[in-house]
Amino acid sequence: MTTGTLITVAPTGAESAKAEVPALPVTLDELLLTAKECEAIGAAVIHVHIRDDDAKPTLDQGRLRDTVAALRESTGLIVQLSTGGAVTDPEAARLAVLDAGPDMASCTMGTVNFGDDVFLNRWEFIVDLHTRMQERGVVPEYEIFDLGHLTALQRLLGKYGLPAGGHVHVDFVMGVPGGMPGTAEALVACRQAVRDLPEGTTFSATGIGRSTIPVMLASLATGGHLRVGMEDTVTYARRQPVESNMQLVARAVAAAQLAQRPPLTPIEARQLLGL
């Protein structure tokens, strides 16, 4: 689908510290304000990580449920919870994210070096996450950090069937130290590999840090969609900190409009993703 652009905002993440990035939304009120602002200018999906009272990453069930409920009450955005959490979170807690009842959840398709850490995703864990989402009607976004993860996804779908809703949507996470580079060449390689997935598979692309803009432009040029936000970059330009997630969404909207692929509304996004 190249007639419109699905724009996802990832406002917080689990890596940046509030003390170092004061504009980072870490409280529920801050997250809701960010969500409303970003929806108003063109975002259709919000990819959610949450923080505790000390602004540290958490997968607390009560907070997750409250966050999902508040976002649904205050916005029309598709609520996508991260099952990645922080790299130190145990598998049981990551699986329990689904108990909060999101519309969507991430499903990372393999282990990857993540800076100085290791983001561990065992095959058994991936299968468990995929099948639980099928049972609960939660639509996955398959996170692809390296080209081999697409082959793993092909294997997963072949053995365990299509996801809830029947539509396959992947997100290329590019530029993580240890994963694939955030370049147009890498994105084109992934784009070619998508052809081995079920017909109609769609993709978004996320450029980490300084790869944000080249990945954004390459994704639009090859028929893909966009994920932006302060989870992925806290610098708008060289030596210019991001002021808000709305600033990043506004830039993505402008690029999509320039490509003559205007942002999809949340309703249109639901139709695309099989929600």
* pLDDT tens track for 175-233: 999 999 999 999 999 999 999 999 999 999 999 999 999 999 999 999 999 999 999 99
In the chain, pLDDT over 90 holds for what percent of residues? 95
pLDDT per position as a tens digit, 149-185: 999 999 999 999 999 999 999 999 999 999 999 999 9
pLDDT score recorded for residue 86: 86
pLDDT score recorded for residue 85: 86
pLDDT per position as a tens digit, 63-83: 999 999 999 999 999 999 999
Contacts of residue 132, defined as CB under 8 A and 6 or more positions apart, other chains included, come to 95, 98, 138
pLDDT score recorded for residue 1: 45
pLDDT score recorded for residue 87: 87
pLDDT score recorded for residue 2: 54
Mean pLDDT of the chain: 96
- Statement: residue 91 has pLDDT above 70: yes
- Statement: residue 250 has pLDDT above 70: yes
In the chain, DSSP assigns E strands to 7-9, 45-48, 50-51, 57-58, 78-81, 104-108, 112-114, 117-119, 139-144, 169-174, 202-207, 225-228, 235-237, 240-241
- Angle, CA 152 vertex, CA 147 and CA 154 arms, to 5°: 100
Predicted model pTM: 0.96
What does 141-183 look like in DSSP terms, one character per residue?
EEEESSHHHHHHHHHHHHHH-PPTTS--EEEEEE--BTB--SS
Instruction: Determine the Cα–Cα distance for residues 50 and 48; give it in Å rounded to an integer.
Output: 6
Q: In 3-state terms, what secondary structure has residue 105?
A: strand
> What domains are defined for the chain?
7-270 (3.20.20.70)
